Structure 1
Amino acid sequence: MNIHGRHDAVLAGFILCSLLLHFLLLHFLPARPLSDLRQKDPVSVEVRPPQARERELDLPPQPEQPEPRKTPAKRLGPQDRTVPKEVAPKGDAPEDRLPVPPPQPQPRQPSPTSKAPGSAPLPDPAAIDLNLAQNTRSRYQDEWRRKYRKDVEEGDAVWLDTEKDVLLSFFERFRSNIYNVWNYPPPAAKRREQGVCLLEIIINRDGSVDSVNLKESSGFPTLDREALAAVYRGASYGKLPSAYEDDQLKIMAFFQYRLTLSGQRGGDIFGAR
């Protein structure tokens, strides 16, 4: 018999002994009824409510927060006091003895040029002359009257609207006739041409026009030619007054053309006074 055979015989004997031992235990132990296992005494458990116990980490209850004040608290500090202004002693220097000038009022700052609801309305453009007619008339009266003063004083020329009683009615008729036929040339108005020209006009005794000479130009030939033509178209101007002794009347007259911002045309006939 080899080694493996002996090992198997020992293992088989051990298994048989184990089975025999278990059989004996089951045979000789008293059997316990199943009813004993099912019927047992009830177990009662008493539950107690938890009790509060003090702990070292418990914090004391917090006090209730006070409501906010409706009125400010009164000051408990000293009352407000005004500190007297310190004044330096006067010195002995000459500048210290001079009187102190009063403070100058500060100029008011101009308000911004923004459109306010109550701002004043702008002027009507039709009422604004581009060349400031009154100033222009005065300037030409002064300059050209001084230039032609010698001709008027030594000859028989007179300024239109001169203060001669014998010619007042004739001057009114003369101006009225020219206004009825004098036009502002449309091409010149479209080009924004305006100015003043000076004419020398010779009227015969019967009221006809003998000649018209351009003494000073307006700077625009179209305006000058229209002024010359208007004098001829306005004739006849009626006979000269009988109180006027000469056979011809030489008149110096200004013809002014002016435009407004809105494009309206205007004209004036006047003399130097």
Structure 2
Amino acid sequence: MSPSSRQDILLAAFAVLSLLLHALLLYLLPADDLLVAPSVKKPVVVEVRPPQQRPREVDMPAQPVTQPRRKPAKRLAPRDQVVPRETAPRGDAPEDRQPLPTVAAPPPAAAPVERKRPGDTGAVSPAPLDLGLPQTTQQRLREGWARKYREDVEEGEAVWLDTEKDLLSSFFKRFRDNIYQVWNYPRAAAERGQSGVCLLRIVINQDGSVDAVEPLESSGYPTLDREAIAAVYRGASYGNLPSSYAKDQLTIMAYFQYRLSGNGVSRNITGR
């Protein structure tokens, strides 16, 4: 069998099969479903109505339109008059009848006692330690502190304030004056009757800045000790060390004394 005749047979078979499928489809489906025309949807019409005006409870009459005035107002008085100032009458409420409370003025702060600065009228001798102890006990306490730190002084690691005057006199004067300007007696400590003396070791750099402050002995009251240490830092810079002083740093040992008396409060910076 030739290829062309084989293709004709296959084509005829497909045609017969197609006719059978269409006949089967017409037999199985109802005739109504095949002939029903598609339904047409009716358009929806939306009617838009304007909002109805509701009557208001109170209708204010329309105000007439005022025309801008073209002529200035007429002067009614022959001259300018000053209206007297009106004052409101005093109220009848209880709080109005009561006088304003008076604020009590704060008590005046005790004036600091003037002290002579060293260098004005000669050197000032160290004041005794005001610790509420007998004079002999104060002297023994002072001597004990001096012996306790004698090695540092003898080895050249530190100097007492107001010593080495031939070399450091001008620097010590600046040091003391700067501290006096910023050193305060804590008011709360004075009101509680706190007084005493603390010993500080102060390290000054060559340019006059403060390198360190170390409390060696306490006054017995941390508030007084902290104020003395803070005053040393606030008083800087103290100026350059003398050019004749060969070391890079100067270590000073000084007493910072707080005193209370009938005349007020006082503070002193002293050496040995």
Normalising by structure 1, report the TM-score.
Answer: 0.49
